[in-house]
Structure 1
Amino acid sequence: MGNFLYYVAVFIPVLSLLVFIHELGHFLLAKRAGILVREFAIGFGSKIFSWRRGETLYSIRLLPLGGYVRMAGEDPETVEVKAGSHVYASVNDLGKLDHLYLYEPNHSTGNLVAGRVVEIDLERKLYVVLENEEGNETRYELDPKMFLHFDEKNETQIAPWDRQFGSKTAGQKALAILAGPVFNIILTVILFAIYIGITGVEHRLYVEKTVAGSPSATAGIESGDIITKINGKDVPTFDMFKYQILESQGSEVKLTVDRNGQQLEVPLQPEKKVTQSGDVIYQVGIDFNSEKGKRPATIGEIVGGGFTLTYDWIKVIGDGFYKLFTFQLSLENLGGPIQMGTITGQAAQQGIDIVIKWMAILSLNLGLFNLLPIPALDGSRLLFIGIEALRGRPVSPNIESMVHFVGFALLMMLMLVVTYNDIVKLVFK
């Protein structure tokens, strides 16, 4: 139980940071395009606390498994005041209405007027015609940032058409949506660069020892050997070595080994193992000396290494997506929030460098996963924007909303499946 609480305490801040960076991308590019951002939320569900700054509500919500930026007009606007409604309004120094109340307020920010709504336009012309008790009509201009108050606790800022998501060009909308995943990828580059700056550069795989009776011992690998290639592919890092062994799927591989300056070709047969949790792994039985395989990194290597590691992991993650969608990878192999939290907690116990590396991998996963054209994800929204650009008009908002709703439901089902996998692995490991 103690470990579980520790893992949760470590995982929630890590995930929240990655979600914050993702949503910050959406937020900044939406604001740059002139879109009204109604809410910037970290988490889902009930609000724990919130505050308003300017025209945006910032909130922290109960379930820390995601977040969102709610842009005006991204979903059909539901802000309306019907003709015939009795309203109260405050008039600012410019003679415009800056607050409109659907109830009688205890106070207002300016001169208070009241009446029955005869005509109102909250999007295009921004005006309202009110009829007083004597039957006289007065037309008032609306402040573009007017707040509409439904009751003492609920209010919203009106969104003129030029502040709505739908009013922007396809390019502006695409940038606002694309910015989330891109910010995650940028964060990945930065985190990998920091990781390299802390740990140094892995430039060779130095064999410390082999496990007796293991495939590497049988193949003749010796202490002091330096492994440079697998099947002709350079493997300067342990991650790339591990990936190539996994890619072999148990088939024999050919190692290129530097032994006292002499280049040797050594065939090696990985050994297939099934873990207690049911995962298939391939072992070779080599202990590498990470210290002898590294040296301090230069500034150029730190910066370049951030990009290189990001590119390498894009290939690894992309290959995983390909295998998942071509049914070469079972859903049983997928991990959910419990597994991610467990790995994050274990990483924290190993040191800050391991945490930073794991955060980089998680951030990249979040960014790339959101680019998939799956309903409810950013990739699907980009697909709809692309269709709009080709057709010259947007897809019906009702159709798009329904597609995203169905997609979100399917994602929640997938979340339940991977969480079930996590629990099974946790209980029966």
Structure 2
Amino acid sequence: MNTFLAVIIIFGALVFIHEWGHLIFAKRAGILCREFAIGFGPKIFSFTRNETVYTIRLLPLGGFVRMAGEDPETVQIKPGYEIGLIFNGENRVQKLIINNKSNHPDCKIIQIEKIDLEHDLTVSGYVDEDEFVTYEIDDKAVYVYDQIATQIAPYDRQFASKSVGKRALAIVAGPMMNFVLAVFAFMAYAMLAGMPVDEPQVGGLTDDGPALAAGLEEGDEIVAIDGQTFDSWEEMTMYIMDRPHEEMTVEYERDGETSTVDLTADAREGPEDEEEGVIGVYAPTEHSITGSILFGFTQTYETTVLIFEALGMLITGQFSLDALAGPVGIYNYTGEVVAMGVLILLQWAGILSVNLGIINMLPLPALDGGRLMFIGLEAVRGKPIDPQKEGMVHFLGFALLMLLMIAVTWNDINKFFL
């Protein structure tokens, strides 16, 4: 699998599951979802199903669910306009033809005096110079502008009409689905690779390690090293790591018989540029559905804790912005992970999914956490924040996030290519 394909699959899955969470819980709350989009920019592909337009867009940098009421309607119908009306079998308005009425010769022309597409769902006006009429509008009627049909959004189908709890759930569902995806990614890894078992046993050997050269085999039980016994894999590896280039006597048990071999640990560079001893063995593993499920949850939790610790270090200055990776950096790291195989790629996908969930939950404008913050303020105040002011805050937040993205991307380019 090449890097580009791996990035498309992984990021497509992360964005899809995130936006799918928003979509499902918004629809459950009765909110009209106009569009479910993967990517930004011009549309590449689209289709409509159950009131929602599903689109794939050119720039694969995220996605969105466009819920009714979050943005102003693109077409405003004002008194004095002449529009065309097409009725359904119950004599309710099914289509409102805004322009190009000649393309709909069967429509009834009306000069608008009053129209309410949110509450009363009625349209009033003159069909002749002196005939004033009022018609009811179907709650799933569409208006047609430039031959594009858009479903109207009565107030009870709009985001703002729902309770604080339902709106919060529709927002938080996106990041939560990323945590769910991470659990499944780690579970899949455990089911395929097996779960590490914390026992002093040889689970596997590298092709060129001292253990293989000394004659150790998979399944050997390590009884002692230099006369010291161990209760766990971690204790054993810590002992070996402290002894690079040192000769050790390994006592092991195989098929009920105990033997000893002498070997010298190789050295590798540790996390603080210090050498660590290695003998070329892997931890033992076991395959279990129950254990794999537990592994999925524990790995997601541990990854979450690590990311929060890293964020804390970034805030306190222990990490610099140079440590952040943008799209270019993630692409480069994904290429390195792809070379390690599908199993490591599953772990990488889980880590990225947790990261996306956490970042989106931060209380920053334009992110899900920022939207939750405004919903929380509404719950405390007992009334919503002015939509225009909230929209401006999110716009400025989005602009700042884009500037940060550009800065991080430029840093990635300098790091990896210049």
TM range (shorter): 0.7 to 0.9
> Match for 2:329: what amino acid?
Q
SS at match of 2:417: helix
* Correspondence for 1:16: 12
1:412 to 396, 399, 402: 402
* Correspondence for 1:390: 380
Aligned pairs for 1:14-93 (under 5 A) are 14-93=10-89
* Correspondence for 1:285: 276
| Deviation per residue, 1:174-219 (Å, 9 max, x gap) | 0000000000001101110110111111124879769xxxxxxxxx
**CA–CA separation in structure 2 for the residues paired with 1:282 and 1:18:** 34
2:156 to 139, 157, 162: 162
* Correspondence for 1:202: 196
| Deviation per residue, 1:38-88 (Å, 9 max, x gap) | 110000111112222231111111110100001011234454211100101
Check the 8 A contact 1:202/1:237 in 2, yes or no: no
**CA–CA separation in structure 1 for the residues paired with 2:229 and 2:69:** 59
* Correspondence for 2:130: 135
Compute the displacement of 1:228 (Å): 7.8
Q: Does residue 144 of the first structure (1) align with residue 139 of the second (2)? A: yes
> Match for 1:33: what amino acid?
A
Is the alpha carbon distance of 1:362 and 1:96 closer, same or farther for their aligned partners in structure 2, counting shifts above 3 Å?
same
2:309 to 311, 316, 319: 319
SS at match of 1:389: helix
Is the alpha carbon distance of 1:271 and 1:199 closer, same or farther for their aligned partners in structure 2, counting shifts above 3 Å?
closer
- Give the structure-1-normalised TM-score: 0.80
Check the 8 A contact 2:40/2:59 in 1, yes or no: yes
Is the alpha carbon distance of 1:226 and 1:91 closer, same or farther for their aligned partners in structure 2, counting shifts above 3 Å?
farther
| Deviation per residue, 1:346-367 (Å, 9 max, x gap) | 2222221111111111111000
**CA–CA separation in structure 2 for the residues paired with 1:202 and 1:341:** 28
Compute the displacement of 1:344 (Å): 1.8
SS at match of 1:390: helix
* Correspondence for 1:213: none
Check the 8 A contact 2:83/2:101 in 1, yes or no: no
**CA–CA separation in structure 2 for the residues paired with 1:38 and 1:45:** 16
**CA–CA separation in structure 2 for the residues paired with 1:42 and 1:103:** 30
Is the alpha carbon distance of 1:393 and 1:307 closer, same or farther for their aligned partners in structure 2, counting shifts above 3 Å?
same
Compute the displacement of 1:328 (Å): 1.9
* Correspondence for 1:113: 108
* Correspondence for 1:332: 322
> Match for 1:171: what amino acid?
G
| Deviation per residue, 1:364-421 (Å, 9 max, x gap) | 1000110000110000111111111111111110111111111101110111111112
* Correspondence for 1:265: none
* Correspondence for 2:290: 300
Compute the displacement of 1:282 (Å): 4.0
SS at match of 1:285: strand
Check the 8 A contact 1:42/1:61 in 2, yes or no: yes
Q: Does residue 97 of the first structure (1) align with residue 87 of the second (2)? A: no
Is the alpha carbon distance of 1:75 and 1:283 closer, same or farther for their aligned partners in structure 2, counting shifts above 3 Å?
farther
Q: Does residue 422 of the first structure (1) align with residue 412 of the second (2)? A: yes
**CA–CA separation in structure 2 for the residues paired with 1:237 and 1:79:** 70
**CA–CA separation in structure 2 for the residues paired with 1:107 and 1:121:** 25
- Give the structure-2-normalised TM-score: 0.82
> Match for 2:135: what amino acid?
Y
Compute the displacement of 1:323 (Å): 1.3
SS at match of 1:93: coil
Is the alpha carbon distance of 1:127 and 1:312 closer, same or farther for their aligned partners in structure 2, counting shifts above 3 Å?
same
**CA–CA separation in structure 1 for the residues paired with 2:47 and 2:37:** 11
State the aligned residue count: 378
Compute the displacement of 1:329 (Å): 1.1
Check the 8 A contact 1:202/1:236 in 2, yes or no: no
> Match for 1:49: what amino acid?
F
Is the alpha carbon distance of 1:237 and 1:158 closer, same or farther for their aligned partners in structure 2, counting shifts above 3 Å?
farther
**CA–CA separation in structure 2 for the residues paired with 1:13 and 1:224:** 50
Is the alpha carbon distance of 1:107 and 1:77 closer, same or farther for their aligned partners in structure 2, counting shifts above 3 Å?
closer
SS at match of 2:55: strand
Compute the displacement of 1:223 (Å): 10
> Match for 1:385: what amino acid?
I
Compute the displacement of 1:300 (Å): 1.5
Is the alpha carbon distance of 1:421 and 1:351 closer, same or farther for their aligned partners in structure 2, counting shifts above 3 Å?
same
Q: Does residue 179 of the first structure (1) align with residue 134 of the second (2)? A: no
**CA–CA separation in structure 2 for the residues paired with 1:317 and 1:404:** 25
Is the alpha carbon distance of 1:223 and 1:45 closer, same or farther for their aligned partners in structure 2, counting shifts above 3 Å?
farther
Check the 8 A contact 1:332/1:421 in 2, yes or no: yes
**CA–CA separation in structure 1 for the residues paired with 2:251 and 2:165:** 58
Aligned pairs for 1:234-249 (under 5 A) are none
Check the 8 A contact 2:26/2:33 in 1, yes or no: yes
Structure 2's unaligned 5+ residue stretches are 211-224, 242-249, 253-266
> Match for 1:23: what amino acid?
E
**CA–CA separation in structure 1 for the residues paired with 2:122 and 2:300:** 52
